[in-house]
Structure 1
Amino acid sequence: MADLPPSAKLVHLVLQENDRMTQSQVTEETQLAGRTVRDALGRLEDAGLVTEEICLKDARKRVYTANSPESGEVDHTESDAPEGAATGD
């Protein structure tokens, strides 16, 4: 993932946070140009970081889902709590 452009990393982050999105939804959320999002999605798909499916509501559209990065990457989603904070157990 380190060799991907910043736009592709942003698109991947947005997809991770939003689960399933169309290209137009990603474009709106990221405020990137449509062509930039299309290129980013292609790069992410080639790298195995995004899955593309046909939209069931409109077969002309595609829905994208983020895949987890390689196991060497660190997932920071659970490290938002301060050290020593109660976990609710």
Structure 2
Amino acid sequence: MQNNPKIVLLNGYGPISINNELLELYPVTTSHGAIGFPLKSLRAENVTIVTNLINFWSLTKKMKPENMCYLYAYGGLEDEDMEKIKATSIKST
């Protein structure tokens, strides 16, 4: 039985690769606040996993212009999901 991919919201600064598609986060964040994707693969320089949706939405007011991809996952992330994320630095808040 194949599991459906986890749905994630992303915002922040810097380039990322999500599901093998290149994306610049800054224009998406400033125009729309965030963008949602099924998580099949994610590559970024830095990733911060935000576990609270309210905190995720408030980040746009506090963001510094640095290469950081903020990620919120509906239902949280499991080990299988974490293996899909490749980054130099991965933090959780």
TM-score by length of 1: 0.26
TM-score by length of 2: 0.26
User: Greater strand percent: which structure?
Assistant: 2
For the pair shown, the structure with the greater C-alpha radius of gyration is 1
